Structures are given as structure tokens and as C-alpha cells.
């Protein structure tokens, strides 16, 4: 959707400003948000599995998943 704003100044020609929504940015932001939530969920699963049976080696991947989600 486009919007046109006309700016009139006395004695000068009018300037037309076109404002468009950039769908590429909103789609990429949504994709990044979905990946971020996914990484946070995987990190949470790793943390929960590490507390269950004392698997401390899962804490490093969990921290990396949390870092990626940020």
C-alpha cells in the first residue's frame, strides 16, 4: 500500500513524497524471530535434559543455542 503526501510551499513547486511499506524487511524480521524462538526452545530442552540425569555436557550446547537466539 502506498501513501502520497504533498508538501506545498508558496511560490515553489510541490514535492511529492511516496511512502511504501517494505515487505522484505518484515518477512525477514519474522523469519529471524521464528529462528530465535526455535533456538531458545532447543536451549531449554538441552538444559532440562542436563538436569535430569546429570549430563553436564549438554550445558555448552544450551548456552550456544541461547546465544544464537539473542
Grid cell 513547486 is found at 13
* Contact yes or no for 39/69 (Cβ under 8 A): yes
Q: How many CB atoms lie within 10 A of CB 59?
A: 15
Tell me the percentage of the chain whose pLDDT exceeds 70: 64
Lowest mean pLDDT among 11-20, 30-39, 46-55, 61-70: 11-20
Q: How many CB atoms lie within 10 A of CB 65?
A: 20
Q: pTM (2 decimals)?
A: 0.60
**pLDDT > 50? residue 14:** no
**pLDDT > 70? residue 38:** yes
Amino acid at each position: 500500500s502506498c501513501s502520497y503526501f504533498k508538501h506545498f510551499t508558496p511560490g515553489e513547486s510541490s514535492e511529492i513524497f511516496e511512502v511504501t511499506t517494505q515487505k522484505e524487511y518484515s518477512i525477514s524480521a519474522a523469519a529471524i524471530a521464528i529462528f530465535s524462538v526455535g533456538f531458545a526452545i532447543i536451549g531449554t530442552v538441552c538444559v532440562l535434559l542436563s538436569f535430569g540425569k546429570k549430563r553436564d555436557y549438554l550445558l555448552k550446547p544450551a548456552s550456544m543455542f541461547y546465544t544464537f537466539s539473542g
